[in-house]
Amino acid sequence: MLWRDGFCRIVRAPSQDYPGYCRVILNRHVREMTDLAESERHRLMDAVYACESALRELFRPEKVNLASFGNQVPHLHWHVIARHIDDPHFPDPVWAAPRRASSGDARPAVSDAQLGERLSALLTRSTP
């Protein structure tokens, strides 16, 4: 767990090729964004944007991908993925067939504690 409050949580997805892969997960069971009140939508997206900001700052990616699927597990969550030009799938989605072997050795080493601290700082500023 990188960060949590009573509304949502941010976890780091286990991925050797994508150390900057996080999920922003709503704590209660909801299937779609439109099931949330407008203020809740904004609150959830604030967490997604904070996650993106932290990943950009700490991992210095070429691009950050945002995705919300929930087809297999119909529970509202967002994938926030730091992408690098030399990652196995770039420029394709991380779910596509890989184009190359992983070469992530030169990427910044960022601990869960560092990422959690940055998220906490960003979300403390934006929490009502």
Per-domain residue ranges of the chain: 3-126
Kindly indicate the confidence band of residue 42, based on its pLDDT and cuts at 50, 70 and 90. very high
CA distance 27 to 54: 21
pTM of the model: 0.92
Please check the confidence at residue 127 and state whether its pLDDT lies above 60: no
Please write the tens of the pLDDT for every residue from 48-96.
Answer: 999 999 999 999 999 999 999 988 888 999 999 999 999 999 999 999 9
Please check the confidence at residue 107 and state whether its pLDDT lies above 80: no
| CATH code, residues 3-126 | 3.30.428.10
CA distance 51 to 99: 27
Decide: 51 and 119 in contact? Cβ < 8 Å: yes
